Structure 1
């Protein structure tokens, strides 16, 4: 009897222990399920946010087209629009074919200078696109990054406008977007050699803007100025449509919310709000800096300088929008606005003809924004920033100069005097941008 009681007591003790274990595990299971649900919600929100940002960056192509058409002469409008329409087409296709895998080759634990993960797009191992990263799937990453690639070549378009052969521009774009940009990008965003130095470029002051700006500088050096541009003391050709230019600048400003905001690579609320606030303040401060200095130097209220000041502030804040405070973003943007005016004046003295101010905006302010990270960015190294600027400058300018020089001494890169004088629209495309017709008085 005593043994039976002991057996029953042992069974009850075991049952109590199991019940206690179940009772303890139930909340833990609920917590795990809640965490998994929260993770899925965050993933979905991040994916939607990044796709919206990709769309905003894509629409920046319309902004560039409008700015370039507005600042150039009417007789070249179709040529400008054609280049800005075909550039994203070429850029996105080439990025799918080889650019994405050149930029993200998978360096592993040993950062390098060159790698290639193969042609085309292929899902990660196992084919699970949703497991690609914590905040976004594989195809979303490609789509977002492809928009950046297309934007880089568009920077060159505006600087070399009104005298470059359309065919030469297309060939340059193919090599620049398909090879030069992604290889340069791999050194930082692909965890290559430059990233191992502690270099920081959040959304592309150097990787996108100054790389494009170096390409633009090489182009205008080898092309030479437009006919009559520097006759006498200089003959700045008036902008054909400042309304177009204004629309373009504000489309670009809107697109920058995707450009910088999407570079958070998730929908993290605190970081995204900081980045977008800094982006906006940088743009405003850039406009003010350009306005003040242009008024002092030029003795007039120069509207074009203010428009470029907005873009200068945006370019300047792009490298460090995630690591500086809102007040520091104002300092960065304001100085960028001053620099863009000084750079325009310097190009004028050097007789380098940049139709839209791409070199002052994207190159000069891109370099400034990158170095500013080393001044104000939390735990950032100025030396690392300086080294990165130097390496990217040598690579982007060197490669672009070689490309343009090769085209110049083979097929030629500049249109004839007749074509340039009469306009590229009618000679290269057989059509005018604007047509007018007079309707007679029928009495």
Structure 2
């Protein structure tokens, strides 16, 4: 009996031991030992992320953004992504925020993108130490109030900026920045030139004040232009047409010299002379908006301003098949409401940097002199094409020929300003 009991106990212990030994060992369920050496692969995703950031920066962009700071423009962005959620004016230009993309694009008044910023969430855990380990010491550390900005060169005159709040010491966002594009047009706003001996002292003083005020106004408005960039290009613009004599003659002169002009037509006159409008369009000139009744828009209520713009746009579209995307406000009369309404209707406001004053001193010599004595890179030249501008017609061939002798390229406004001519 004792022998039988002993054998039962012996085999039971073997079975228990076998069961324990056959249970799989799950190291994942074991708590890690303190000070245990972690595998190198744990840090690999961060290393890959930082490598990708630098590789893309060298191409002028960031992850998940098809646009870059080398050759992209805002018109491409709007075509592909639509309008931004917000646009803010700051520093050297304007910043368009696309919330869902977690991307902010900085661009100058010519629409050239000079800054691409990413707020992607996968960067939020990357620390200063990891950045320095991957990229080395930055070329510069900018110490702002609440953040440090680590600046790295990419070898292509492009900067990679890494913005790190002092409170978190990890990446908030990155910026790929092109200094040359940022400076190319941001501060290049010209004074308005041109004089007339037919103006009274008070009229001249009033004009000088307006010129100064409108230049300051345009500097802080995304869609208001005084001039183009600092390049050897100018644009010839003609207001107040069409008529049946002067406007057709100007169209012919431009065609004979193989240059394009920009006609700001009054909507009510478009209805009277559609064949002239069509001829200007067929010859490759831009046919643009100059309001319907040529009224001071700042003295109208918002709906009246909108109607002046849209009625003219539709009048032109009924002739050419295209609605303009550029307007010149009558008398240059512009304020924040007019600029905002124009933008809502898809228009840029283009004024001028040289006034020939062909409406005041109607003298071909003065018209030519006002241009040639003052012409600069990027000038937008104001003339008129209504029925009493015979001296403008007379001056135009001389003006074109002399500008070409001085190696200025005469272009249309969409070329000069890098904006849409039509919607």
Q: Same-fold call, TM > 0.5? A: no
Q: Greater CA radius of gyration, 1 or 2?
A: 2
TM-score (norm 2): 0.30
More helix by share: 1
Higher strand share: 2
Whose relative contact order is higher, 1 or 2, with alpha carbons under 8 Å and at least 6 apart? 1
TM-score of the aligned structures, taking structure 1 as reference length:
0.29
